[in-house]
Amino acid sequence: MGFKMEISLLVSSIKRCFENMMPERNYLEQGRKIQAPGILFSFDLQVNDSQKAASIEVHRLVHLLFVYPHATFMTEIEYGFNPSDFKMTSNHDSCYKSDGIWSPLSKIYFNMCESINELRKERHKKEIAPIQMGSHASIWDMKTVMVDLIPDPDHPGGYWKKVEKIVNLKKS
């Protein structure tokens, strides 16, 4: 699978740089609105059936929002997303790569592989295993943002948040 290492490594490296610039802060306090800086990544994920002639390729634009110090949100809305489109995938530092990045991307990858096989069936071709497919991820966009987080009513009394507002940080 082509997404895991490249995206996790990139996000981890940028996360460490970002943390070094930030003061200590615990935004995970329950029951209140908070504002925190973040980085919004947009990735173009591509999967193809690795066939030279008439190759089938599927693309997904996935947005990953990392909010300092370690909350991770994700959406698959291609263009014109709203802050409410982001779903929290992790809220802790120890597993943000596995829970917040890898697990959701893995689901997206296998859904893309299913789409490839559906298109192959329509063209009267045999299904192929995901491991036989080619995959690639490229950065579509990356920017620093300020994020307003509110308690998630679907997870009352917990640390889960929803994104209420995302504002691009301006250059000074």
Say what the pLDDT of residue 5 is: 45
In b/e form, how buried is each residue of 89-117, taking b as 16+ CB within 10 angstroms? bbbeeebbbebbbbebbeebbeebbeebb
What is the predicted pLDDT for the residue at 130? 93
Using one digit for the tens of pLDDT, what is the confidence trace for 53-96?
A: 778 999 999 998 988 777 888 898 877 789 999 998 877 666 66
Q: Rounded CA gap, 62 and 129, in Å?
A: 23
Higher pLDDT, 172 or 72: 72
Above 80 in pLDDT, residue 47? Answer: yes
Structure-token pair, residue 160: 């889960």
> Is a pLDDT exceeding 90 seen at residue 118?
yes
pLDDT at 119: 94
Tens-place pLDDT, residues 127-148: 999 999 988 888 888 888 999 9
- pLDDT given at position 20: 67
In this prediction the pTM is: 0.80
Give the three-state DSSP class for 49. coil
Span 12-36, pLDDT tens digits: 777 677 666 666 655 555 557 888 8
